[in-house]
Amino acid sequence: MLLEDWLRLHDAIAHTSELYAAGFGKHALASAVERGVMLRVRRSWIALPDCDGDLVRAITAGGRLTCISEARRLGLWAPPADPRVHVMAPAGSGKMALDGVRIHWSNGPAPVRRRAPAEPLVNVLHHVAQCLEPSAALAIWDSALNKRLIAPQVLERVSWRGRLERSLASRATALSDSGLETEFVEIMQGIGVSVRQQVWIDGHPVDALIGDRLIVQLDGFAHHGAAARRRDLEADARLRLRGYTVLRFDYQQVFFRAEYVRDVVRMAIAQGLHLAG
């Protein structure tokens, strides 16, 4: 196997000791770096030029990528507000201080090989629970279940040591495909409103159904283009013609104007818009 192909199977970055163990010699590594095919990160790490930037920064800081940064790299939903790179400091690390880096010191429940560039998923979830607000942490745990990166039964059987992790393991579900949906459900639970998620109506799943007839659709952080917006309006019209009331909230309203969302839903329920007939 070519050196480049091997690296692509290993996050595009590896410690030289692992490359030597895989059968690649010092001359091959030095030649690849000299030709610009590979990059040297610190003294003993080799990376492809297109390696994930957060992984490179984690290695540069002397740690492993974790928490919200690794969650994003795994394709999980994550709030966009924190631009820092989250890094786990391995055992024996000295002082680590880099601008734009958030250091995590606590160990997750899963063992990690010494030269791993990133923490395994269960440790990422542990650091998320320790680092983020409960609602944002729950959204990432939900996302991991929704994307089937971990099974609910496996999540529940992990020996979580902290109260926060145990609480999240008992509450996380695979129904929410974004943190926006998780946050909305949390808001509704706070006022005693039961929500059913991903109910199929008119041939498509709706984000939330309250009662029999009140549908809530949630628009993500990214702005829709004109074509997507047109499809949303057409879908809303079809649902209204079938006797449903459709409420639509966006990211800013759910995360930063929760009281407005509560008031609108409360009023809709007070008017009986959630009831059939």
**For 109-148, what is each residue's pLDDT tens digit?**
999 988 999 999 999 999 999 999 888 899 999 999 999 9
Spatial CA neighbour of 65 closest among 119, 9, 137 = 119
Sequence-distant (6+) residues with CB within 8 A of 174 are: 142, 145, 146, 148, 152
φ and ψ of 228, to 5 deg: -65, -40
212-260 pLDDT, tens digit per residue, is: 999 999 987 655 677 878 888 899 999 999 999 999 999 889 988 999 9
Residue 97 pLDDT: 57
Residue 223 pLDDT: 53
Mean pLDDT across 153-158: 92
Please tell me the distance from the alpha carbon of residue 84 to that of residue 78, in angstroms, as a whole number.
13
Residue 176 pLDDT: 84
Lowest mean pLDDT across 20-24, 88-92, 137-141, 240-244:
88-92
Reading the block at residue 34, the tokens are 């000299």
pTM over 0.85: no
Task: Judge whether 250 and 188 are in contact, CB under 8 Å.
Answer: no
Which one-letter DSSP state was computed for residue 273?
A: T
Distance, CA of 137 to chain centre: 9
Instruction: Calculate the alpha carbon distances from 160 to 28, 94, 167, 169 in Å.
Output: 43, 27, 10, 9
Terminal Cα distance for the chain, rounded: 67
Query: 């969650």: which residue's tokens?
Result: 71
Sheet of strand 196-201: strand arrangement:
196-201, 204-210, 214-219, 245-250
